[in-house]
Amino acid sequence: MKPRAPWAASLLAAVLMALTACSAPATHDAAPAPSAAAALSGGAAPATAAASDTSPSALTVVSVLGDSHSGWPGSWFRGSVANGAVPGVAPGVLASEPGRTSIELLAWVGQATARRGVVLVQAGTNDLLIRRATPPVAAQGVEALVTAVSAQHVRAILVSVPPSGTLGAATNQLNALLEDWSHGHQVPWLDVTRAVAQADGTWQLGLSDDGVHANAAGGERMASAARAQLPGLLGPG
């Protein structure tokens, strides 16, 4: 892994210290504060942080912290963990907050880690799309989010950023940076992008209707990738 520039460490520390100081951009799908976040997911969502953990001890509770990619009804998370399709797993918290950047998602770390277990972290699309961050700056934010989850003594798995109809090259660069970082920090890497992306980082034909989110067919392909990889990634950490 290539060493980061000297300013990277100070930037990461500053992001962690300022996790509640950032204001959200005005977006059509911005989420409310964590106290109201449970209402977003509706009745089909996995158990929230307020629920007691009654899962058998043999099962691993798996939650997700991310943007809209992980929470919509046909998402890869709902098609793998939430519907019980991954052996040995009990669905945990669905902290999927539409329109949020990696820095804003720091406010949901407490909710996402409330049931312990493992937290799948997927963010970065809105850093590129809304903040107009460069891939290296977006990567710093996502890395800070994973670090914040780990600081709660909860195991994190970093999930790849989906393709983009308009920012394919930037998405490819961001995923390369995140995968490199994950290997260097012993953080498991879940790749749900390769199954739906073209080489240039855009969506494969017919797998996205808006160029940002997967459609039903794309969501199922991503869920299939998650179902195939998660059993191996959830082994002893």
pLDDT digits (tens, 9 = 90+) for 67-112: 999 999 999 999 999 999 999 999 999 999 999 999 999 999 999 9
Domains and CATH numbers, the chain: 44-233 (3.40.50.1110)
**Residue whose structure tokens are 């970093």:** 158
Residue 176 pLDDT exceeds 50: yes
pLDDT digits (tens, 9 = 90+) for 37-58: 333 333 333 333 333 444 456 8
> What pLDDT score was predicted for residue 236?
65
> What pLDDT score was predicted for residue 16?
45
Regarding predicted confidence, which is higher, 53 or 197?
197
> What pLDDT score was predicted for residue 57?
62
> What pLDDT score was predicted for residue 235?
81
Q: How many angstroms separate the CA atoms of 58 and 95, rounded?
A: 23
- For 142, the token pair is 């996502």
pTM of the model: 0.78
Mean pLDDT of the chain: 83
